Amino acid sequence: MATAVDALLARRDAALASADAAAFAATVADPTTPEGRRQVASFRAARALRATGVAHDVVPPVDDPSAVDVTLRYRVAGVDRADRTATVRYAVQRAGSGWRVVSEAPTGADAAPPWLAMPGLAVRRGEHAVVAGTAGDEALRAAVATVDRALPPLRAVWSGTPRSTLVLVPDTAAEADALRGTPGPAVGAVAATTDGPTAADGLATGDRVVLDPDARRRLTATGRDVVLTHELVHVAVRASRPGTAPVWLAEGYADHVGYARAGLPHRTLAAPLLAAVRAGTAPTALPGAGDLDPGVTDIEVGYLASWQAAETVADLVGESGLRALVRACTGPGGEEAAQQRCDAAMPRVLGLDRAALTRRWQQRLAALAR
C-alpha cells in the first residue's frame, strides 16, 4: 500500500505544479463531500500562494490507511530560500485498482502550510509583501502597506533581510492554531508570532509572520501597524544574525522600532508599566524569558519594561549603538548564553555594565512615572 500511496501523492504534487485542477480532483475520493471540497479549495489556495517545490517524503509502511502521516516539503515563491516542512495526515481509500484521498489535515507540532490551515485564503501582494489570509481584503491590504513601508528601512540597516516577507492573517482561532503549530501561544495571548526554518549557518531562510485574530480585532489600525512592524524587526534580525539575543533586548528593540510609528508619548504607551512602578510591582531587573512568557504571567508589563530598557540604550548610544548591541548580543545557545554574551559586550558598546544599565533604566522609569 505504501508504494501506491506514494504514487497517489506524487500525482497530486505534479497536478499542483502544473496547475492541473482536473488531475488534482482525480486524486480526491469524493470532491462533493465537505472534505473533498476542502481539498479542492486547498489546491486553489496553494496555487494562489504560488507554492513551489511541493513534494512528499516516502510514505512509511502502514496498516491503517485512515491515518497516513507524511512529511510535506514546500516553498512559497519569492519568500522562501529553503524548504519548509510540515506533517500532513491523509486518509485514503481504494478506488478501483488505485487509491484516492478522503481527507488531508496538518498534524503534529509543525506549523501548517497556509493552504491547509486556510483553504479559503486570499492573497494580496506588494513590492515587499506576500499577505495571505481569510480576514478580509481590508486587513490583507493594510498588512501589505505596513510591510512595504517598514521592510526597506530594515533592509538598509540589517544586511540579509529578505526582500519580501510572508504575512498570514487568519480569521479564526482554529486557523491560527494550525498555522502556529502545537503547542503554541493561546489565541489572544500574543498579538503575532514569527517563525521559520534556519540554515546550517543559523540564519533564517524564510520567516513568516502570523497575526493573531483576536488581537487584530482588539487593536486599532495604529496598533496593528506597530505589531506587524515589531515582527518585521524579528524577520530582519533572524535573517541577518544567527542565534538569539537576551529576550529583553530582542523584544525591546523590536518594540523600539514598532512604537516609533505610534506617534504617542511614552507615558501614554507605557501606562500599565508606569502604574506598576507607582505600585512598587514593576520589574527591578531587566526582564527574562519568564517575564515575557504568556503561559507564566501577564506579559504586558514585561514587554513594556523591555521596550524602555531598549529606549535607555538608545538614549545612551543612539540608534546605531542600539543595533550594535543587538548584533553583539545575538549568537548561538539559549537565553543564559545570550545573557553572558551581552554582559561581555555591554562595557564595550555602552561603556556601562549590566548593573549600571539597570540603574539608568530604573531611573528612566521613575522619571516617567512621576
Number of Cβ atoms within 10 Å of the Cβ of 337 = 14
| Percent of the chain as helix, strand, coil, to the nearest 5 | 50, 20, 30
Whole-angstrom CA distances from 204 to 40, 298, 305, 323 are 32, 29, 27, 18
Output the pLDDT for position 62. 64
First to last CA, the chain: 72
Whole-angstrom CA distances from 33 to 14, 24, 86, 97, 103 are 23, 15, 25, 22, 10
Domains of the chain, earliest start first = 2-117 (3.10.450.50), 121-241 (3.30.2010), 243-370 (no CATH)
Output the pLDDT for position 65. 64
Element (H, E) at 85: strand 84-95
Which residues are paired to 100 by β-bridges? Answer: 93
Check: CB of residue 297 under 8 Å from CB of residue 341. Answer: no
Q: What is the DSSP pairing of strand 129-133 with strand 122-125?
A: antiparallel
Q: Nearest-5° angle of CA 25, CA 30, CA 36?
A: 70
- Whether the full predicted model's pTM is greater than 0.85, yes or no, is yes
C-alpha cell at 236: 530582519
Quick check: bond before 242 cis, omega within 30?
A: no
pLDDT 10s digit of each residue in the chain, 370 long?
Answer: 668 888 999 999 999 999 999 999 999 999 999 999 999 999 999 999 999 999 999 777 666 667 788 999 999 999 999 999 999 999 999 888 789 999 999 987 789 999 999 999 999 999 999 999 999 999 999 999 999 999 999 999 999 999 999 999 999 999 999 999 876 677 667 999 999 999 999 999 999 999 999 999 999 999 999 999 999 999 999 999 999 999 999 999 999 999 998 989 999 999 999 999 999 999 999 999 999 988 888 899 999 999 999 999 999 999 999 999 999 999 999 899 999 999 999 999 999 999 999 999 999 999 999 9
Residues 234 and 209: their CA atoms lie apart, in Å, by 9
